Amino acid sequence: MRGIQLSFSNTQKLRLEKALAQLGSFSSKLNSNATVIVADKIPVDEDAALKGHGTLEMGNDVVASVCGVVERVNKLVYVRPLRARYKPEIGDIIVGRVIEVAPKRWRLEINFSQDAVLMLSSMNLPDGIQRRRTAVDELNMRSIFVENDVICAEVRGFQHDGSLHLQARSQKYGKLERGKLLKIPPYLVKRRKQHFHHLDQYGVDLIFGCNGLIWVGEHVDVKDAMVEDQVNKSDPQNTHSSSLPGSSEEPTDTPLERRQYICRIANAITVFSALGFMVNLDSIMETVTLSLSLNLGVHEMLEAEFHVRVAEQEAERRSTSKRRR
Amino acid sequence: MEYVNPEGLRLDGRRPMEMRQLRAEIGVVSRADGSASFEMGNTKVIAAVYGPREVQNRSQQMNDQALVRCEYSMANFSTGDRRRKTKGDRRSTEISLVIRQTMEACILTHLMPRSQIDIYVQVLQADGGTRSACINAATLALADAGIPMRDLVTSCSAGYLNSTPLLDLNYLEDSAGGADVTVGILPKLDKVTLLQMDAKLPMDIFENVMQLAVEGCKAVESHIREILLENAQTLVIRQGYGS
């Protein structure tokens, strides 16, 4: 089993197997037929079918070029890969790490097949004012982001030369501080309307990067405005946050309790990705609540027993959602 | 020495056209994009694939296709006598090249321009046929990494000893000095991507031996496909499609 290197006791093993078997019974028969592996023939009804990603034409047949699930949209036939690196789409919210400060741009590692580029001109400067970037700004780039900073941004698109460009045109994007970065397989993060989450009861911010990097950090006030776009805000002074460099406010220490919450949420996500389940806010919060109700310490969440519990909970959750339908 | 006894059994008790036991596992290296271990009898190799990722050496970057790199190494404890192997010796350089060329033939490199794919294969136990085992493991790892491929390359070796064609030679048979034919094929396309032989054979016998190796490749293919499909189905279930 990928990612799980734990010693389960016999009963735990049985319980885990049972829970996973239960999960297997939920996926419909139709879908198990749609699973293909490399070079499997994909049945197409008519000749006019459009061949999408993950397919190849071989003689008269359409075959899969990756292991995945066949999807059909009208005439389009494509294979969604089950395991692959992140593939950016315009508008994706991603978390990345700065690896290089280059002239007028930062290079970011985002788990894609190439590094992403964040131009100085495609981001709002921390002072929040829309204006031309001057040579002075260019010299001060290191005061905004330096190497190894963790950054949240949005995918802007591919340039003509094939490079991937990002943008950070809102106060909700930018440097992430005082938190924990998690790397999970990108296929476990689904694209949703909302990728920024403020968990009020814990005082924690949660960012699900589409590229499989997940940020769990202390709540930063500016992100109160993340629901609606704040570009047109009349008073830019209020959008300043303590985390932004150059602001006068001194960041205070993160209280211990909050740090524990951060770690608890992070561990919940780690358990989920180890079990190979889709990560979303509801299930993560349920897992955190479960761990709290069991009175588990933060480190105990990574033990075998909790993995089994989470698998059982997921089976339960999917069965109820199935019944509801 | 007698490699096939009068009853028609080989040194390890197999029939001439019998393969060793195959065992494959997917997802053995947690940090890699794709990984697999592959066993043929006592030969055991592990392969890890990283990428497609940013090209490390800018001058090697290609604007129309991906760069495929391969590194083959043998663990010190893999052979009968423990010996320290230098990293860049001729044998491992050659096998790296062979694996790279074989895999490059099936990867759709044009879909991943300006990137590189690294394949690392390591032999954990060597008992003949490491070349084929490495190729099979690399195929599995590439499929696991979700890298688009034309077909699954599979490989198998065959030899000719005591005037009998033998399938899937082990170390003793391999070092007997007879011919050793390693074949890699694309089973669905019915094409040969790798053919190596390190001795001489008459034409008609060679054809028989090669045919035997191709049959072996097909047997490997059906095993690999089973493993991959099973793995794909568990992934589907875990991710919860259709539920």
Chain A residues with beta carbon closer than 8 angstroms to that of B231 = 67
Å between A136 CA and nearest CA of chain B: 30
Q: Do A218 and A251 touch, CB atoms closer than 8 A?
A: no
Task: Please give the Cα distance from B179 to B202 (Å, whole number).
Answer: 11
Distance between CA B64 and CA B50 in Å, rounded?
A: 19
Binning pLDDT at 50, 70 and 90, where does residue A241 land? very low
Model pLDDT for residues A117-150, shown as the tens digit of each residue: 999 988 887 666 777 778 888 888 898 899 999 9
Mean pLDDT, residues A204-228: 78
> Closest chain A residue to B58 measured between Cα atoms?
A114
Asked if B104 and B156 touch (Cβ cutoff 8 Å), the reply is no
Res. A323 pLDDT band, cuts 50 70 90: confident
Q: Above pLDDT 90, what percent of chain A?
A: 31
Residues A28, B242: C-beta atoms closer than 8 Å: yes
Q: What is the pLDDT of residue B202?
A: 93
Stretch A190-212: mean pLDDT: 91
Query: What contacts B55, CB < 8 A, 6 or more positions away?
Result: A114, B61, B67, B114, B115, B116
Q: Which of B129, B134, B123, B221 is nearest to B180 (CA)?
A: B129
Which strand (E) or helix (H) includes residue B219? helix B203-239
What's the rounded mean pLDDT across residues A249-265? 82
| Average confidence score pLDDT of chain A | 83
B165 at A interface, C-beta within 8 A:
no
Cβ-contact A274, A3 below 8 angstroms: yes
pLDDT recorded at residue A27: 64
Choose among A296, A317, A293, A319: nearest CA to A306: A296
**Conformational region of residue B228, where left means phi above 0, alpha means psi within -120 to 50, and beta covers everything else:** alpha
Contact at 8 Å (CB) between B107 and B117? yes
Q: Which domains does chain A have, with CATH numbers?
A: 34-83 (2.40.50.100), 93-252 (2.40.50.140)
Q: So what's the pLDDT on residue A64? A: 92
User: Number of C-alpha atoms within 13 angstroms, CB side, residue A158?
Assistant: 9
Rg (CA), chain B: 18
* Subunit contact A35:B233, Cβ cutoff 8 A: yes
State the pLDDT at residue B242: 52
Please state the rounded mean pLDDT for residues A224-237.
43
Q: DSSP secondary-structure letter at B74?
A: E
- Can you give the pLDDT at residue A239? 42
pLDDT of residue A85 exceeding 60, the answer is yes
**What pLDDT sits at residue A243?**
44
Domains present along chain B, CATH in parentheses: 22-239 (3.30.230.70)
User: Who's near A243: CB < 8 A, 6+ residues apart?
Assistant: A175, A177, A178, A220, A222, A251
Predicted-complex ipTM score: 0.85
CB pair distance less than 8 Å for B228 and A37: yes
Q: In the predicted model, what is the mean pLDDT of residues A170-190? A: 89
Q: Could you tell me the sign of the dihedral formed by the alpha carbons of A173, A177, A180, A184, in that order?
A: positive
Q: pLDDT digits over A94-107, tens only?
A: 999 999 999 989 99
The C-alpha R_g of chain A, in whole angstroms, comes to 22
Burial label for A237, CB within 10 Å (0-12, 13-18, 19+), is: exposed
Give me the mean pLDDT over the A209-216 stretch.
93
What is the chain B residue with the closest CA to A1?
B27
Residues of A in contact with B63 (CB under 8 A): 162
Residues of A with CB below 8 A from B58's CB? Answer: none
Q: Which of B149, B128, B143 has the alpha carbon at shortest distance from B40?
A: B128
Q: Is the pLDDT of residue A18 over 80?
A: yes
Interface of B with A in 68-107 (CB under 8 A): none
Contacts of A56 in chain B (CB under 8 A): 108, 148, 150
pLDDT of the residue at A11:
86
**Distance (Å, rounded) from C-alpha A6 to C-alpha A301?**
12
Using a CB cutoff of 8 Å and minimum separation of 24, what contacts does B59-63 make? B60/B116, B61/B114, B61/B116, B62/B113, B62/B114, B63/A162, B63/B113, B63/B114
Q: Percent of chain A having pLDDT more than 70?
A: 85
Give me the phi and psi of B215, to 5 degrees please.
Answer: -60, -40
Q: What is the mean pLDDT of residues A208-220?
A: 91
* The pLDDT of residue A3: 57
**Contact (Cβ atoms closer than 8 angstroms) between residue A111 and residue A100:** no
Over chain B (243 residues), what is each successive 10-residue block's mean pLDDT?
89 92 93 94 96 90 92 91 80 93 93 93 93 95 94 94 92 89 93 92 93 95 93 85 54
Rounded Cα distance, A308 and A299, in Å: 15
Chain segment A28-50, per-residue pLDDT in tens: 555 556 888 888 888 887 677 88
Angle of helix A10-26 relative to helix B203-239, nearest 10 degrees, comes to 90
Cβ neighbours of residue A238 under 8 Å, at least 6 residues apart? none
User: Which two tokens mark B102?
Assistant: 């074989």
Q: Which residue among B30, B148, B187 sits closest to A66, beta carbon to beta carbon?
A: B148
User: Residue B20 and residue B14: Cα distance in Å, rounded?
Assistant: 8
pLDDT in tens, A49-84: 888 999 988 888 889 999 998 988 888 999 989 888
Q: Would you place residue A2 in the very low, low, confident or very high pLDDT band (cuts 50, 70, 90)?
A: low
Contact (CB, 8 A) for A38 and B143 = yes
Q: How far is A34 from chain B (nearest CA, A)?
A: 10
Q: Confirm or reject contact between B146 and chain A (CB < 8 A).
A: yes
* Chain B nearest C-alpha distance from A305 (Å): 19
The token pair at A287 is: 């897992």
- Has residue A207 got a pLDDT over 90? yes
B143 CB near a chain A CB, below 8 Å? Answer: yes
pLDDT of residue A116: 93
pLDDT greater at residue A5 or residue B238: B238
* Contact indicator for B188, B210 with CB cutoff of 8 Å: no
State the alpha helices, DSSP H only, in chain A.
Answer: 10-26, 29-33, 135-139, 141-144, 256-275, 281-293, 304-324
pLDDT of residue B241: 66
